[in-house]
Amino acid sequence: MTPDYASPHPVVSNQRRVVLALLHALRPHLRGDRSLPTRIESLIKADRRFGSRDRRLYRELLYTAVRYLPWIEGRTDDEAIGLIGHLAAELPATHGFRAAFGAGPLPDGLDPDELLPAWLRAECPAAFEPAVRTALCARAPLWLRLQVDDPAPVAAEFASLGWTYTPSPLRPDAWAVDGDRDLTRTDAFAHGLIEVQDLGSQLILDTLALEPGGHWLDACAGAGGKTLQLARLLGPAGRVTAHDVRPGALAELEVRAHRAGLRSIVISRTAPTGLFDGVLVDAPCSGTGTWRRSPHLKWNTTPEHVARSARLQTELLRRFSERVHPGGRLIYATCSLCRSENEAIVAAFLADRPEFTLEPPAQTFGFPPGPHGLAILPGRHDTDGFFVASMRRA
C-alpha cells in the first residue's frame, strides 16, 4: 500500500487504512463469489472495534467499490480511495469520508459501458441507455409498502424518529425512505403495518387490474413479498395458496402473513393440485434486474447462468399453467432484464399452448409494452428491473 494521505483528520485517515485493508482481503473474491455479501458482513463484523456507524460506513464504501469495480481495479491506493469517496452515496455515515477524499473530479477516460458486463447488451440493449445504466450502477433506494389503509400511525412513528420519506406518485402506499434505516426495528414493522418491497415489484401486480375475490396460486412464493400484496389486493373475499420448494422461505412467509394479519394466505408445502382463478409464476431467474442491490452479481453472472434459469422457467411455466382454470389468468414475472428469461419464454409458451392468449397490461407506468409482456426498467421510477406478462386461458 502507498502511504496515507497527509490529512488533518486522523479519523478519516484511519478509515482510509481500513477500507484499503478490507478491499485487499476481498480482492480474490470480487469477481467469483456469489456469496460476496455474506463475506463482506463477516469481514466487517469480525472487527469488534467497529460500532454500528463504522459498519454502515465500511459496508457502503465496499459496495461502492463493487458497483464500480472496473474503474477501481488496477488503480493506486490514492486513486481508488478518491474514486470510492466520489462515487459513494451521500449518507450520514459517509459524509466525512466523502468530504476528505471525494472532492476532486473523476479522472478522464472512464468508460461507463465497462460498468455492465458486455454480454448483457445482446440480452437487454436498453440497459446501456444512460438513464438505465446510471440507475443500475447506483445505490438502490429503500422502498416500503404500507399494509394499512391509514398511513398516519406509520408517519407518526417515522416523524418521532426523525425519518423522512417520499411517497411514490405511482402508488401512494409505496414510500421511499431517506437514508440508511433499519425498518425492522420499528413498531410499524413489528405490527405488520409495513413491508420492505421494491417499487418495481409492487408495480407488477398493478399492471393486472385485479378484482377482489377469487382463489389464486402463488406458485413460486419465496418469502412472500408479492404474496402479501396479492392477498391485500384480493381482499377478505379472496384466497391465496402460496407454494415454494424452499421450506425456509415458506416459514418466513408464514411469519410475515401472521404479522400482517392476513388470514387468507394458505401455505402449501407440497405440489398444489386443483384449478385456480389465477396463477402467479414469479420465476427464479438470474437476478439481473436486482444488480443495484446485489452489484456483485454483475461480475459473476454469465450467459450460462441465464440459460440455466431459462430452462427452469420454461418448465415452471409449463407445469403451473396446468393449474389455471378455464377463463383464468396466468401471470409470468421475473426480476431479470434478459430477453432469454422474459420475452423468449412467453413467446415459446404461447406457441406451444394456443389456449392461452396474451393480455395487454392495465397500466404501463410509461414503459412501452412489447409483443410478449412489459419490461419495468430501472431509471424511470428509481426501481429494480422486472418483467411481467399476463395471459388468459380460453
Query: What pLDDT score does 4 carry?
Result: 43
Give the model's confidence band at 7: pLDDT under 50 very low, under 70 low, under 90 confident, else very high.
very low
Q: What does the pLDDT average to over 266-275?
A: 95
Residues 304, 306: Cα–Cα separation, whole Å: 5
Contact 378, 135 (CB under 8 A): yes
Q: What is the mean pLDDT of the chain?
A: 95
* pLDDT tens digit sequence for 132-157: 999 999 999 999 999 999 999 999 99
Residues 394, 374: Cα–Cα separation, whole Å: 21
Query: What is the domain class of 142-196 according to CATH?
Result: alpha beta
With CA atoms as reference, report the closest residue to 129 among 148, 144, 112: 112
Q: What does the pLDDT average to over 199-222?
A: 97
CA angle, 385 then 387 then 392, to 5°: 160
Q: What does the pLDDT average to over 2-29?
A: 81
Q: Which part of the chain has CATH 3.40.50.150?
A: 199-393
Residues 44, 201: Cα–Cα separation, whole Å: 30
Q: Give 327's DSSP letter.
A: E
Query: What pLDDT score does 5 carry?
Result: 44
Give the model's confidence band at 3: pLDDT under 50 very low, under 70 low, under 90 confident, else very high.
very low
Cell 440455466 locates to 308
SS3 135: helix
Residues 97, 81: Cα–Cα separation, whole Å: 9
Give the model's confidence band at 104: pLDDT under 50 very low, under 70 low, under 90 confident, else very high.
confident
Contact 379, 132 (CB under 8 A): yes
Q: What's the one-letter identity of residue 5?
A: Y
**Is pLDDT above 80 for 363?**
yes
Element (H, E) at 144: strand 142-146
Percent of the chain with pLDDT over 70: 98
Give the model's confidence band at 332: pLDDT under 50 very low, under 70 low, under 90 confident, else very high.
very high
Pairing, β 356-359 against β 386-393? antiparallel
Q: What does the pLDDT average to over 86-98?
A: 94
Residues 249, 221: Cα–Cα separation, whole Å: 8
Q: Give 8's DSSP letter.
A: S
**Is pLDDT above 80 for 285?**
yes
Helices (H), the chain: 10-26, 36-46, 52-67, 69-72, 77-87, 95-101, 120-123, 130-137, 152-161, 187-190, 199-206, 225-234, 247-260, 297-300, 303-321, 343-352
Pick the CATH number of 199-393 from 3.40.50.150, 3.90.1150.10, 2.60.120.10, 3.30.1950.10: 3.40.50.150
Q: Which part of the chain has CATH 3.30.70.1170?
A: 142-196
**Is pLDDT above 80 for 376?**
yes
**Is pLDDT above 80 for 9?**
no
Pairing, β 214-218 against β 238-243? parallel
Cell 486522523 locates to 10
Contact 274, 324 (CB under 8 A): no
Strand partners, 279: 217, 330
Strand partners, 242: 218, 267
Handedness of CA 314, 315, 318, 321 (dihedral sign): negative
Q: What are the grid coordinates assigned to 222, written together?
A: 419465496
Give the model's confidence band at 105: pLDDT under 50 very low, under 70 low, under 90 confident, else very high.
confident
Q: Give 373's DSSP letter.
A: B
Helices (H), 336-389: 343-352
**Is pLDDT above 70 for 1?**
no
Catalytic residues: 335
CB count in 10 Å sphere of residue 371: 9
Query: What pLDDT score does 10 carry?
Result: 86
* pLDDT tens digit sequence for 247-263: 999 999 999 999 999 99
* pLDDT tens digit sequence for 314-324: 999 999 999 99
Give the model's confidence band at 47: pLDDT under 50 very low, under 70 low, under 90 confident, else very high.
confident
**Under 8 Å CB-to-CB from 98, ≥6 apart: which residues?**
85, 86, 88, 90
Query: What pLDDT score does 341 carry?
Result: 98
